[in-house]
Amino acid sequence: MKKQALTLLAGILIGALLFGGITAIGSPVTAVPTPHHIFVDGKPVSVEAYAISGNNFFKLRDLLAAVDIGVWYEHDTKTVYIETDKTYDPDYQGPVEAQYKTEKITVTGKRAAGIPAVLTIPGGDGPFPAVILCHGHGGSKDEAGGFVSLSIALAKAGVASIRMDFPGCGDSKEDFAADNNLTNMLDDVGSVKAFLATDARINADKLGIIGYSMGGRIAMLTADETYEAAVLWAPAGTPGPSDMFTFMQLEDQAAFETLYAVAKKDGKATYTSIFGFEQTLGLKWFDDMLGLDPYAAFNGYAGDVLTIYGENDIIITPAAALAVSNVAAGANSSNLLEVKGADHGFGMYSNEPEITQIVIDSIVDFMEAKLCSS
C-alpha cells in the first residue's frame, strides 16, 4: 500500500497551496472566495477555493475527492494519510489495523485522588494483550508525545496500553512534593493493573510493563510473574540515589545526604536540576530512594527483558543501563538496544523524531513478539 504521511501543525487550516508560498502566518489574513475554475482531466469540478494574500487555497479533502484518492486523518498524532491506491470515501478512517480507541479515564487508587490515565485499545476484536507505561521523574503520561506515539504504535500492532500520570505530574491533582514517591507510584501501578483485569477487552494473562527513566525503576520494583515482558528504557535502576546525581546536580553521596538532612528537618528539600528548574521533593521520596532496592526486586524476574540505553546519555549512562540488564539472571531472555546519538531524552524533548522512532519500533517489535504469540 503506497502511503504518504503529511504531518501538519495543529491549529492551522489543513489545505493545499497551489501557487506561491505562505508569508506572515502570524499576521491577520482574510480568506476571499475565488472565481477560479478547476478542471480534472479536462472536466470542470466544483471545489471551494479561497484567495489568501494573493495565493489560492483549497481544502485537501476537496481536491482528493475531485481526483478520487483516499485520505484519512489521525487525530492523536495530527497526521494526514494520503493513499493513492484507494478511491475517495468521506467516511474512511484508515485501514482496520490503524484504527484504535483512546479513552481518557480516572482510575480509582489507594489514595483519595484518582489516577489520570489514557487507555489505548486496538481496533478489531479482543481481548488484547496490554502493557502499562510508567513515565520518568517529573514527566507525564505523554512524555512530550513520545508515549502517545508509542501507545498508538502498540495499538496498531494489536497491543493495548495504559499510561498514567504519577502523583503531582501531568493532570494529577496531587501535590508533587507531598505525594510523589516510589511507594505511591507503585501503588498506582498496582491500581492500574487491577483496573485492566476488569476490562473485558484486555487479556489479563498477557501483560507487559514499560518504564522510562524513573519509570524503569518502578518497572523493576513491580515486575513479577504476572508480567510476561518488561522494557527498561534508560532505567534509573541502580540501588540508592546515584542515578539521580547528575539530574539533581549533586556531586556525590555526601551532597545527597546534605539535601536529605534538609528534608528530615523541614519535611522537604529543594534542588536545581541539570535543566535549570527548581523542584521540591518530600522526605518520603528520599526515604524510598534509599530503602527500596530495584536490584533485589528484579533479580527474580523470569520473563523477557529489553533494556534500552542512549549512546550519549549522561543521566543514565550506558554503563548503568548495562548493569541493570545483568540483574535479571533468571530472565527467559535479556535483550539490549543501544540507540546511537541518543541522550536521555531520546529525541522526545529535542525534536529528533527519528531517534524516538527507533525506540518505538524496537519496543513494538519486542512486545508484539512476546505478548501476541500463542
* CA–CA separation, 223 and 304 (whole Å): 11
Task: Indicate if 214 and 120 belong to the same structural domain.
Answer: yes
Task: Indicate if 330 and 212 belong to the same structural domain.
Answer: yes
The burial of 262, by beta-carbon neighbours within 10 Å (0-12 exposed, 13-18 middle, 19 or more buried), is given as: middle
Over residues 169-224, the pLDDT tens digits come to 999 999 999 999 999 999 999 999 999 999 999 999 999 999 999 999 999 999 99
pLDDT at 97: 53
* CA–CA separation, 12 and 228 (whole Å): 43
Q: 3-state class of 164 per DSSP?
A: strand
Task: Indicate if 64 and 129 belong to the same structural domain.
Answer: no
Instruction: Tally the residues of the chain.
Output: 374
Q: What is the mean pLDDT of residues 262-273?
A: 98
Sheet holding 115-122, edge to edge: 100-107, 115-122, 160-164, 128-134, 202-212, 227-233, 304-310, 333-339
Number of folded domains that form the chain: 2
117 pLDDT more than 90 = yes
Q: What is the mean pLDDT of residues 135-147?
A: 97
59 pLDDT more than 80 = no
> Which residue, of 42, 76, 94, is where some domain finishes?
94
What letters, b where the CB count within 10 A reaches 16 and e where it falls short, cover 8-21?
eeeeeeebeeeeee
Residue 350 is assigned to a structural domain of this protein: yes
Q: What is the mean pLDDT of residues 254-265?
A: 98
Task: Indicate if 105 and 89 belong to the same structural domain.
Answer: no
Domain holding 321, by residue range, is 98-239+293-371
Task: Indicate if 143 and 222 belong to the same structural domain.
Answer: yes
Task: Indicate if 189 and 40 belong to the same structural domain.
Answer: no
Question: 105: domain CATH number?
Answer: 3.40.50.1820
The mean-pLDDT minimum among 8-22, 83-97, 304-318, 343-357 falls in: 8-22
> Which residue, of 51, 70, 94, is where some domain finishes?
94
pLDDT at 339: 98
136 pLDDT more than 50 = yes
Q: What is the mean pLDDT of residues 244-269?
A: 98
How does DSSP assign 52-121, residue by residue?
ETTEEEEEHHHHHHHTT-EEEEETTTTEEEEETTS---TT----GGG-EEEEEEEE--SSSS-EEEEEEE
The mean-pLDDT minimum among 50-64, 65-79, 113-127 falls in: 65-79
Q: 3-state class of 370 per DSSP?
A: helix
Residue 266 is assigned to a structural domain of this protein: no
Task: Indicate if 39 and 172 belong to the same structural domain.
Answer: no
C-alpha cell, 302: 523470569
Residue 373 CB-half CA count within 13 A: 7
Q: Sorting pLDDT into bands at 50, 70 and 90, what band is 75?
A: low
Between 102 and 46, the more confident residue is 102
> Which residue, of 44, 71, 94, is where some domain finishes?
94
Instruction: Kindly state the percentage of the chain with pLDDT values over 70.
Output: 87
* CA–CA separation, 46 and 268 (whole Å): 66
Q: What is the mean pLDDT of residues 321-346?
A: 95
Integer angstrom CA distances of residue 268 from 172, 281, 282: 20, 5, 4
Task: Indicate if 109 and 208 belong to the same structural domain.
Answer: yes
Q: 3-state class of 122 per DSSP?
A: strand
